[in-house]
Structure 1
Amino acid sequence: MNDGAVPTIKVTVLESEPQPELWYITKKMLLNKRLLKDVGKLSPHQQTSALEAFHSVILRFTLKSVVFMFISMLCRLDLAGMLFNENADREQATTLEDTPVYYVMYPKSKKGQRIVKPKKTEPTFGYISYLVTLLFTEVFDNPEVFVEELRNVPIPEDLSAQCDEPSKEELVAWRHVSMFNPVVAGSQRSSDQHQETPGESSGQHMQE
């Protein structure tokens, strides 16, 4: 017996042609409708609760009713991420007797049936102290470095710039197109050109 020696395991691979019967059985098992339906339900609601919680934090910093510039949106998303990361792993609150605390809620998925959920400890906001300290100790002393980094942030173009912008006349023509009154934009523009304006017609009558 060799002390401290690592035993060597020899693996022999048998080269054989795949058997049609085994392949058919495996395919039938993997493509079973019941199995495919169960695979689609492997992600329970508990796995997406953290993502939904992060989305609710984002909505606190970026309201849907307000339009933000790209840099402003980026800064607000960073603040939301810092707040969420600091309070993501909060423990369950307890009483003075170390009894776990729960609260009652009525989720829509339960159709009015009430359930209990563990109550977390109060959130903390230590990231604010960190940002204030960074602001007074580094940013105020040398703001050019931070301004230069902010200018180097790549700003993508607007989504509207990626699409073709039709003219105002084309938009007006398309507005009147419906399934009951189909009008081609080109024919609409050509008919507008041949139609006389009130100013021109009145001028012709005055000349006559």
Structure 2
Amino acid sequence: MYWVAASTPAGDGEEMVSKWLSACVKLEELLTATRLKTSVRKLSPIHQTSDVEAFHSTINHFAPKIIGFSFHGMNCRLLLAALHFNENSGRPQAMTEDGLARYNILFPKYKSGGYITREKKINQSFRYINTLMKSVGKIVEGTNMRQSPKVPMQAPRPLCAEYIHPLKTDAILEMQSRFRKPEM
């Protein structure tokens, strides 16, 4: 709308209407494009991805990708991440003593000095840890400490176990034969 008025300095109303209608044609082409209609058909009326992204962020906190964990270590960390997320995902907005909603002001890089406001949530809860520690205590009390602890599940075979491993000497000879220059 601003472009229509700014690009018509004489103020000719008929010219502005024709510019407006031409812009509407372009907009209609964009909004009725096959690709956009295909995407609209796939929209979920109930579920959005923000919760999934928040859960993945929680997993990255408990099991950072930069560190390699054993199968059992990773399994325990994923279970802890799920417990933490389930307890804290629906936290309400924090309120002041006067009953006013609290907000944070953030300065993300993509705003180049600009800011955004976000609801401030109440502090995270870690109540699940007490329940978990009580469960671990019951398990430890019921076992003989001289016995080795039982592993709850067997670790799967490594993915590379599916492949045939050649002898190292054969692999080296094969590599050298590929790079050997034919004698002339």
TM range (shorter): 0.5 to 0.7
Give the equivalent residue in structure 1 for 2:40. Answer: 38
**Matching residue's letter, 1:80:** A
Deviation of the 1:113 alpha carbon: 4.0
TM-score scaled by structure 1? 0.57
Compared with structure 1, are the counterparts of its residues 127 and 33 closer, same or farther at alpha carbon in structure 2 (3 Å cutoff)? Answer: closer
The worse-fitting range, judged by mean Cα deviation, of 70-79 and 106-115 is: 106-115
Compared with structure 1, are the counterparts of its residues 160 and 119 closer, same or farther at alpha carbon in structure 2 (3 Å cutoff)? Answer: same
1:171 and 1:186 map into 2 onto residues whose CA distance is 6
Compared with structure 1, are the counterparts of its residues 188 and 126 closer, same or farther at alpha carbon in structure 2 (3 Å cutoff)? Answer: same
- What do you get for the CA RMSD once the two structures are aligned? 3.4
CA deviations on 1:102-145 (whole Å, 9 max, x unpaired) are 11224456566422111110001011111222222x1122136x
Give the equivalent residue in structure 2 for 1:53. Answer: 54
1:69 and 1:96 map into 2 onto residues whose CA distance is 47
1:133 and 1:120 map into 2 onto residues whose CA distance is 28
**Matching residue's letter, 1:118:** E
Q: How many residue pairs are counted as aligned between the two chains?
A: 144
2:172 and 2:119 map into 1 onto residues whose CA distance is 57
Give the equivalent residue in structure 2 for 1:78. Answer: 79
Is 1:120 aligned with 2:121?
Answer: yes
Is 1:64 aligned with 2:75?
Answer: no
Unaligned stretches of 5+ residues in structure 2: 1-32
Compared with structure 1, are the counterparts of its residues 90 and 171 closer, same or farther at alpha carbon in structure 2 (3 Å cutoff)? Answer: farther
Asked which structure has the greater CA Rg, the reply is 1
Task: Give the secondary-structure state (helix, strand or coil) at the position aligned to 2:52.
Answer: helix
**Matching residue's letter, 2:70:** M
Compared with structure 1, are the counterparts of its residues 77 and 33 closer, same or farther at alpha carbon in structure 2 (3 Å cutoff)? Answer: closer
Give the equivalent residue in structure 2 for 1:164. Answer: 164
2:93 and 2:86 map into 1 onto residues whose CA distance is 17
**Matching residue's letter, 1:139:** I
1:190 and 1:90 map into 2 onto residues whose CA distance is 62
Compared with structure 1, are the counterparts of its residues 112 and 142 closer, same or farther at alpha carbon in structure 2 (3 Å cutoff)? Answer: same
Task: Give the secondary-structure state (helix, strand or coil) at the position aligned to 1:143.
Answer: coil
Deviation of the 1:63 alpha carbon: 2.4
Compared with structure 1, are the counterparts of its residues 113 and 70 closer, same or farther at alpha carbon in structure 2 (3 Å cutoff)? Answer: same
